[in-house]
Structure 1
Amino acid sequence: MKKHFLIKLWSIASGLIVLSIVTFFIHFIVTNGIDALSYEFITQKPKGTPLGTEGGIFPAIMGSIYFTLIAVAFASIMAFSTSIYLVFYCKGKRTKGLVRFVIGTIAGIPSIVLGLFGYSFFVVYLDFGISILTGGIVLGIMIFPYIEVRFEKSFLEVNRSMIEASYSLGISRLYTIFKIVLPICIKDLISAVSLASSFAIGATAPILFTGGVLYASVPKDILSPAMALPLHLYMLIGEGISFKNAYGTSLVLLIVLLLMNSFSLILSIRKEDD
C-alpha cells in the first residue's frame, strides 16, 4: 500500500514539475515577444540594416507553411502505404521486423545528418537545387517514422471481427480498408498528421542546407528557396541582430504550434466521445 502511494505521489509530482516548466516557458516567450507582435510584423518582409532589425516575418511564415505542406504530403503518403502493407498485406514476421527496424533507424537519425544527406543526395546528386521541394522532402523523411507508427497503431486498434466479417462476405481487402477501416481511423490519422506538422514546422537543421535561406521573398513555386520561421529565428539570435524580433518570431511560432496541438487534442477527445 505504501509502495503504491509513493508511486502515485511521484507521478503527481512529476506531472506538476512538467506543467510548471511548460507554463514558465510559455509565459517567458509571451512576456518577451508580445511587444514585437503587431499587424505589420506579421504582414511585412524583413527590413533594416542589418536585415531583420525592422519589418516583419511574412516571407518566413509563408515559407514555413510551404515546407510543412510538402513534408506532410510526402511523409503521409509514405506512412500510409507502409502501415497499410504491414497491417493488412504483410504476412512474414521477418519482413515486418525488417521494415520496423528501418523505420526505427530513420527515427533515430539526427536532424542535422538528414540535412547533410538531403544536400548531398537531392541538391548535389539529383540537382534539385536549394528549394522548398528539397527541404520539404527532407522534413518529410524526418517526420515519416512518427506518422507511420501512429497510422499503424490506429489500424491495429480497429476491431478485427469487423474486418474478418467483411472478408467473409466476399468484399475485397482494398474496399474494406477504404470503406470500413479508414472511416473509423480518420480522426486518429488527421491527429497524427497535425502533431507531425508541428514537429516539422519547428525544425531548422533539415532545411538549413536544402531549402532555407536567410532572406527571400514569398516563394513563387516549390523549386525556389524560402525563408522559414525557425531559420529566421536562428539568424536573429546567432547574429545578434534583434532580440526583440527574435522573441516576436518565437511567439508566432509558439502560437502556431499550440494551435496545431490543440487541433490534434480536440480530435482525440471527439474520437473518445464517439
Structure 2
Amino acid sequence: ISCIFASILAIATAIYTVFYCESNKVESMVHLIVQSMAGIPSIVLGLFGYTLLVLHLRIGRSLLSSGITLAIMIFPYIEVRVEKTLREVDKSIINSSYALGISKVHTLFKLVLPICKEDIISAITLAGGFAMGAAAPVILTGAVIFAPIPKSLSSPVMALPFHLYILTGEDISLEKAYGTALVLIIILLIINIVALVLNIKRKENN
C-alpha cells in the first residue's frame, strides 16, 4: 500500500519537476520539501500519522493508516531516484519526438517512462524494503498484538518489525525473536537482489 501511494505521488512529482516546471523557484521549493521530508525521523512520522490519521481523521489503527504513514516516509527516496533517472534520459531522443509532432504526454508515457522502467521499479523495490524494516510508524499507526491477517484496509496488522519488538521487549522468546529477525533479513535480502538484478539489466540494455 505504501509503495503504491508513494510511487504514484513520487513519479508525478518527478515528471512535473523535470518536464513541466518552468520556474526555478518552484523547482527549488519542491527539492527543499523533498529533502526536508527525507530528513524526518521515522518516530516523528509515526507520531504525525498517529495524530492526524488515527486521532483526528479517526481512521484508527489500520493497514491504511500504516500505509499512508510509510508512504510519506519513502516518498522522497523514490522521488529523488526517479527524478535523477528522468534527467539522465538522452535529450536528443525527447527532442526528436517533439520534432515529429508527438505530444509531451505521449512522449512521456510511450518513450521516456519505458526507458526508465527498470530504474523506477528498482527505486520502488528498495523503498519497499526500507518501509518493511520500519517499526516506529507501524507500531503507532497500525500494529496490534496477535492481529490476524488483515481482510480490509481498515483492519489492524501484526507486522514483522512490531512482532520482533514485542518478542524482545517483553522477553517472550529469544528463539522466536531470532527466527523473526532471520525471516525479515531474508525478505530484505531478496528485495535487494531484485533491485540489483534490475540495475544490471538496465546497464546491459544501455
- Quickly name the TM-score band, shorter chain normalised: over 0.9
Describe the superposition over 1:53-101 as per-residue Cα deviations: whole angstroms up to 9, x where unpaired.
xxxxxxxxxxxxxxxxx10001001101100000000011110000000
Structure 1 residue corresponding to 2:154, chosen from 223, 227, 240: 223
Tell me which residue corresponds to 2:181. 250
**Percentage of identical aligned residues:** 54
Structure 2 letter corresponding to 1:82? T
Structure 2: gaps (5+ residues): none
1:105 deviates by 0.5
Map 1:133-152; keep pairs closer than 5 Å: 133-152=64-83
| Residue in 2 that maps onto 1:202 | 133
DSSP-derived class of the 1:209 partner: helix
Q: Does 1:180 align with 2:79?
A: no
Pair member with larger Rg: 1
Shift in Å at residue 208 of structure 1? 1.2
Aligned to 2:39: 108
Matched, 1:121 2:52: yes
Paired with 1:206 and 1:182, the residues of 2 have a C-alpha distance of 31
TM-score by length of 2: 0.98
- Matched residue count: 205
Q: CA deviation at 1:204?
A: 0.3
Distance 2:149 2:113 in 1: 36
- Greater shift, 95-104 or 209-218, is seen at 209-218
Q: 1:82-134: CA deviations, max 9, x gaps? A: 00000000011110000000000110111001011001111111111110000
1:76, 1:270 → 2: CA distance?
21
1:75 and 2:6 correspond: yes
Tell me the residue number matched to 1:169. Answer: 100
3-state SS, counterpart of residue 150 of structure 2? coil
Instruction: Give the drift of 1:178.
Output: 0.5
Distance 2:204 2:138 in 1: 39
Instruction: List runs of 5+ in structure 1 lacking aligned partners.
Output: 1-69
Deviating runs (4+, > 2 A) in structure 1?
Answer: none
CA deviation map 1:4-25 (0-9, x unaligned): xxxxxxxxxxxxxxxxxxxxxx
* Distance in 2, Cα, partners of 1:122 & 1:160: 42
Scaled by the length of structure 1, what TM-score is found?
0.74
- Whether 2:167 is the aligned partner of 1:232: answer no
Q: Counterpart amino acid of 1:192? A: A
In structure 2, the residue matched to 1:10 is: none
Establish whether residue 212 from structure 1 lines up as the match of residue 143 from structure 2: yes
Q: Which amino acid aligns with 2:193?
A: S
SS at match of 1:220: coil
Distance in 2 (alpha carbons) for counterparts of 1:168 and 1:214: 60
Alignment correspondent of 1:241: 172
CA distance in 1, matches of 2:149, 2:204: 42
